[in-house]
Amino acid sequence: MLDARGTTPGARFVDPHVLARISNLELLARVVVEGFINGLHRSPNLGSSMDFAEHRAYMPGDDIRRIDWKLYARSDKYFIKEFEADTNANFSVLIDTSRSMAFSSRKDGLTKLDYAKYVAACLVYFSSKQRDRVGFASFAEEVVSYVPPSAKHLSVILHELDRMKVGPRGKLGPPMQLLAESFRRRSIIAVISDLYEEPDAVIEAVNHLRGKGNDIMLMHVLDSAEIEFPYDEPSNFRDLESDERIPVVPGKFREKYRALVANHITQLRSLSRQQGIDYAVFDTAKPLDDALFAFLASRERLSRIR
């Protein structure tokens, strides 16, 4: 499917300037390919191992030589045999579309949701190029859209990113619990959200996804104004999640606010580390490629000591 410009819908989220810079650096091959993408892979040689892992339902495009014909004779259904040496992994990205993700203090109007779309598109793009199965979901208080992991779903996911809009007030727990049921094999899962819940509640929600040894990445997207609180004039501030308006005198409140945000981030980082979850803050004022490099390099360092 093509849009009016003759390109794949959603392709605008794979920033060509970002990809051009990343693709020319050694860090891409070393960190992204070896560390990020191959983190779940048991062997660099596709199909060389004879150690059976599991069956999965046949999908159009699968090699028919890998169909278990004995199982077909018993069940009259097609299943593929998978082995430990299969190097293609499942990678899924889950994006929060709750009201607060619409916030932006930038002159260009780039929202937290826009930034999340760029992050998701870059990660899915790289995963797909490594022939991994890529999936996607968006959520607010419930699951909004879902694309199951497949080697052929890059264009589908980019289309979903293109049409994704901010939804109602969000809550992590219910959609994470529901989505967890869809991950039936070991996966890399990236959760992208502004995490406007108590740290304990965030980790409890994300832990629903950790079944079968899934590798979880928690990407905390914030606008720089949410971190620094640069406002000077007294005003009524509106909570984008609840619509509640609160009168605030910034000069008196700024340091307390910054301390609260810093503590929230510190708790999330500490709790994530305890649970073996990779956590990072993404400031929408920072260049996307720099943010991705910092995060992926951190994953590589942590993988050496785990």
Where among 30, 54, 83 does a domain terminate? 83
CATH number of the domain that 242 lies in? 3.40.50.410
Identify the domain containing residue 53 by its residue range.
46-83
Q: How many whole angstroms separate alpha carbon 213 and alpha carbon 205? A: 16
Alpha helices by DSSP H, the chain = 16-23, 26-27, 69-75, 112-129, 154-163, 173-180, 199-206, 224-228, 250-274, 288-305
Question: Do 50 and 162 share a domain, yes or no?
Answer: no
Is residue 1 situated within a structural domain?
Answer: no
pLDDT for 27: 35
Question: Do 160 and 27 share a domain, yes or no?
Answer: yes
Question: Do 262 and 164 share a domain, yes or no?
Answer: yes
Is residue 223 situated within a structural domain?
Answer: yes
Question: Do 185 and 61 share a domain, yes or no?
Answer: no
Is residue 52 situated within a structural domain?
Answer: yes
Is residue 259 situated within a structural domain?
Answer: yes
How would residue 288 be classed by pLDDT, with cut points 50, 70 and 90?
Answer: confident
pLDDT for 58: 79
Q: How many whole angstroms separate alpha carbon 166 and alpha carbon 229? A: 23
Q: Which residue has the higher pLDDT, 284 or 28?
A: 284
Mean pLDDT of the chain: 78
Question: Do 249 and 203 share a domain, yes or no?
Answer: yes
Report pLDDT digits (tens) over 289-300: 677 777 776 766
pLDDT for 224: 93
Is residue 4 situated within a structural domain?
Answer: no
Report pLDDT digits (tens) over 20-73: 555 443 333 333 334 444 433 333 333 334 555 567 787 776 778 888 888 888
CA dihedral 161, 137, 224, 248 (to 10 degrees): 110
Determine which of 36-40, 108-112, 179-183 has the lowest per-residue pLDDT on average.
Answer: 36-40
How would residue 15 be classed by pLDDT, with cut points 50, 70 and 90?
Answer: low
By CB atoms closer than 10 A (0-12, 13-18, 19+), residue 165 is exposed
Question: Do 79 and 92 share a domain, yes or no?
Answer: no
Contact 139, 175 (CB under 8 A): yes
Determine which of 85-99, 164-178, 193-207 has the lowest per-residue pLDDT on average.
Answer: 85-99
Q: How many whole angstroms separate alpha carbon 88 and alpha carbon 38? A: 8
pLDDT for 109: 85
Question: Do 68 and 161 share a domain, yes or no?
Answer: no
pLDDT for 120: 86
How would residue 226 be classed by pLDDT, with cut points 50, 70 and 90?
Answer: very high
Across 299-303, average pLDDT:
57
Question: Do 62 and 153 share a domain, yes or no?
Answer: no
Is residue 2 situated within a structural domain?
Answer: no
Contact 172, 82 (CB under 8 A): no
Tell me which long-range contacts 290-296 makes (C-beta under 8 A, separation of at least 24): 291/119, 292/22, 292/119, 292/122, 292/123, 293/22, 293/27, 293/31, 295/217, 295/219, 296/27, 296/31, 296/32, 296/35, 296/36
Is residue 3 situated within a structural domain?
Answer: no
Question: Do 205 and 247 share a domain, yes or no?
Answer: yes
pLDDT for 197: 94
Q: Which position has the token pair 């899915």?
A: 124
Question: Do 65 and 104 share a domain, yes or no?
Answer: no
pTM: 0.74
Determine which of 47-51, 131-135, 196-200 has the lowest per-residue pLDDT on average.
Answer: 47-51
Number of domains in the chain: 2
pLDDT for 1: 45
Q: How many whole angstroms separate alpha carbon 182 and alpha carbon 185? A: 9
Contact 183, 167 (CB under 8 A): no
- Find the farthest-apart pair of alpha carbons in the chain and give their distance in angstroms, rounded: 74
Is residue 161 situated within a structural domain?
Answer: yes
Token code pair at residue 134: 């890529």
Question: Do 54 and 180 share a domain, yes or no?
Answer: no
Question: Do 212 and 293 share a domain, yes or no?
Answer: yes
